[in-house]
Amino acid sequence: MVTCLSNENSLLGSWMNELRSIEVQTDRLRFRRNMERIGEVAAYELSKELEYEEVEITTPLASLKVKELAVQPVITTILRAGVPLFQGLLNYFDKADCGFVAAYRKHEGNDYFSIKQDYLTCPSIEGRPLIVADPMLATGASLIEALKDLLTNGAPSSVHIVAAIASEAGVAALRQAYPTARIWVGAIDSALTSKGYITPGLGDAGDLSYGEKLQR
């Protein structure tokens, strides 16, 4: 199932507009904060789909039966571009455990690229909701590779993908590879460039958050 968070009018649409606008996105602090906000909204909406249990708490006046998350999720992200979106999720799921994946595209000429994954650290995800933050779901190749390795750490109770912008092709590829995963996305764009970048998109989320990287 795919949930596009901008299908309904809300403040999230304004944050998406600022992420995309060349007149605003050069403000790195604002860019990171808008990514974080989208993560927060996604966390709230996603939390409605998780499992809850009844517990008892005591107020200054009486005891009260309430609902709490039955199992805390594991939140992961693909470094470095995913960090602000990840932080937004962690702001709301503040008791979650966390994992990190270092993966990148290695361009090899003629618009061809392969996915290189150098590092992964993650707690056990056995029986727990797994949430993966990846701001730009373009071809889906890096996310599919990351999920393959993350799932060696156990069988999660559910898998949730959170992205700021996805392409239709990326969503289709992810649904084919992991049909039971839930996808939460700020917006879905129709096209990819010949190099596999989302268009109209917003550019390079990592560079806009932290500055341009050296090409090696």
Match 């090899």 to its residue by tokens.
108
> Is position 57 within any domain?
yes
> Is position 26 within any domain?
yes
> Is position 10 within any domain?
yes
pLDDT of residue 112: 45
Name the pTM for this structure: 0.91
Give the residue, 163 or 145, on which the prediction is more confident. Answer: 163
* Structural contact between residues 34 and 45, judged by C-beta atoms closer than 8 angstroms: no
> Is position 215 within any domain?
no
Determine the structural domain holding residue 25 and report its residue range.
Answer: 2-210
CATH number, residue 173 = 3.40.50.2020
pLDDT tens digit sequence for 62-88: 999 999 999 999 999 988 899 999 999
> Is position 45 within any domain?
yes
Confidence of residue 215 (pLDDT cuts 50, 70, 90): low
> Is position 66 within any domain?
yes
> Is position 171 within any domain?
yes
Structurally, how many domains does the chain consist of?
1
Match 């560079």 to its residue by tokens.
207
Chain mean pLDDT for the chain: 92
Closest CA to 75 of 102, 99, 42: 99
> Is position 35 within any domain?
yes
